[in-house]
């Protein structure tokens, strides 16, 4: 059996080679793509670097090779062959399958840094793709994964490129859950940089309404509450729907929570009527994890200010015993969420 598999893999390698001709290579790439649709097939391809190198050569043009490599890149073992090939892959950005492949390669911080270094000036191609009529959905996970490291957040927060401003409209983007989820994750990650909070909350970016709008519903509010809200959140239509994905709602809440890390940020978030939106969300929310995140944020907004020396919540040193208790509570919350069904008609994000 093993000999037959080796023989078939060798035949596929020959057919993928340049001597086989265009038609034969395309057919072989189609066969490899079908093979990559199963975990066993991906492992078979991963264990044969020669096959991957042949597919990488074919990936220079459109066709099944790119989609095959995207599937194979989900296997951690394949990254040892694919990461050195970044110089050949980066010029293909922002093609959707290539963005997805790079997203898989950048799931870990080390891979994210390698992809960022390889991207170089092609970073601007990613940003330009955001203004296409239909940006590739895979761009969202890629930007989210790159923003997990400070170098990636620095690029998104580069004020000369207006990158964050290009991301903001996608918090309400209905064309792709995958793209919307990734962009919200990237914005959440950017909010870890508290030194940029004042700019993010200023009129130059005005990030808060874009984070609040997906959390707002169609409820009729008293006039005094309505006046506290930014104009974009006032008098919403009766058919206004909240973000349907619980994990995206949670990330939006986490982003706002991060913006409350400093005293000026907390005042700005309070002054823009955030409490009103979260109060209505809390009454509507059914998902236990998202509801808990909403309650934590509400507590920050209505609670007393921290004592002197602890105004920046991102710089506070948490005692080890308290940190362990928080980790235990987070684990219990995750276990609770595990048993909460979350149907997703679109299936996995990638």
Rounded average pLDDT over 39-68: 92
pLDDT for the residue numbered 338: 36
pLDDT for the residue numbered 192: 94
For residues 216 and 258, give the distance between their C-alpha atoms in angstroms, rounded to a whole number. Answer: 19
pLDDT for the residue numbered 195: 95
DSSP type of residue 214: G
Please tell me whether residue 327 adopts helix, strand or coil conformation. Answer: helix
Contact partners, residue 253, CB within 8 Å, separation at least 6: 215, 278, 290, 293, 294, 297
CA distances from residue 215 to 92, 139, 191, 248, 294 in whole angstroms, order as listed: 36, 23, 18, 10, 10
Q: Which residue has the tokens 């934590």?
A: 296
Q: Which residue has the tokens 């700005």?
A: 268
pLDDT digits (tens, 9 = 90+) for 132-150: 999 999 999 999 999 999 9
pLDDT for the residue numbered 328: 55
Rounded to 5°, the CA angle 311-313-314 comes to 130
Question: What is the average pLDDT score of the chain?
Answer: 87
**pLDDT grade for 13, boundaries at 50, 70 and 90:** confident
Rounded average pLDDT over 26-47: 92
pLDDT digits (tens, 9 = 90+) for 222-254: 999 999 999 999 999 999 999 999 999 999 999
pLDDT for residue 280 is more than 60? yes
pLDDT for the residue numbered 315: 55
**pLDDT grade for 322, boundaries at 50, 70 and 90:** very low
294 compared with 328, residue with greater pLDDT: 294
Rounded average pLDDT over 333-346: 38
Single pTM value for the model: 0.86
pLDDT digits (tens, 9 = 90+) for 175-230: 999 999 999 999 999 999 999 999 999 999 999 999 999 999 999 999 999 999 99
pLDDT for the residue numbered 345: 37
Q: Is 183 left (phi over 0), alpha (psi -120 to 50) or beta?
A: alpha
**pLDDT grade for 17, boundaries at 50, 70 and 90:** confident
Comparing CA positions, the residue from 86, 87, 82 lying closest to residue 51 is 82
DSSP type of residue 149: S
pLDDT for residue 120 is more than 70? yes
Rounded average pLDDT over 23-37: 93
pLDDT for residue 59 is more than 70? yes
| The two structure tokens encoding residue 43 | 């492992």
pLDDT for the residue numbered 307: 55
């Amino acid at each position: 059996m093993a000999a037959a598999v080796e023989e078939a893999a060798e035949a596929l390698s020959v057919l993928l080679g340049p001597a086989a001709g265009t038609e034969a290579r395309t057919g072989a790439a189609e066969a490899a793509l079908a093979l990559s649709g199963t975990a066993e097939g991906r492992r078979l391809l991963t264990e044969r670097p020669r096959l991957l190198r042949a597919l990488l050569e074919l990936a220079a043009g459109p066709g099944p090779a790119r989609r095959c490599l995207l599937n194979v890149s989900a296997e951690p073992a394949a990254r040892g062959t694919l990461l050195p090939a970044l110089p050949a892959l980066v010029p293909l950005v922002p093609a959707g399958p290539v963005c997805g492949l790079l997203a898989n390669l950048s799931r870990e911080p080390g891979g994210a840094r390698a992809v960022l270094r390889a991207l170089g000036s092609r970073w601007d191609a990613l940003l330009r793709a955001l203004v296409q009529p239909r940006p590739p959905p895979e761009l969202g996970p890629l930007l989210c994964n790159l923003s997990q490291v400070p170098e990636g957040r620095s690029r998104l927060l580069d004020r000369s490129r207006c990158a964050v401003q290009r991301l903001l409209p996608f918090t309400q983007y209905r064309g792709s859950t995958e793209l919307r989820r990734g962009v919200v994750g990237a914005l959440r990650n950017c909010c870890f940089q508290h030194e940029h909070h004042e700019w993010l909350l200023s009129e130059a970016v005005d990030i808060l309404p874009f984070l609040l709008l997906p959390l707002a519903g169609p409820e009729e509010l008293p006039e005094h509450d309505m006046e506290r809200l930014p104009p974009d959140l006032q008098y919403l239509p009766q058919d206004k729907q909240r973000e349907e994905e619980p994990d995206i709602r949670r990330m939006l809440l986490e982003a706002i929570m991060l913006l409350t890390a400093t005293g000026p940020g907390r005042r700005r978030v309070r002054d823009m009527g955030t409490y009103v939106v979260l109060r209505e969300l809390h009454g509507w929310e059914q998902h236990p994890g998202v509801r808990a995140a909403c309650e934590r944020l509400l507590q920050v907004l209505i609670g007393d200010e921290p004592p002197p020396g602890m105004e920046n919540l991102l710089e506070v040193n948490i005692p080890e015993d308290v940190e362990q208790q928080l980790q235990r509570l987070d684990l219990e919350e995750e276990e609770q969420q595990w048993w909460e069904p979350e149907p997703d008609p679109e299936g996995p994000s990638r």
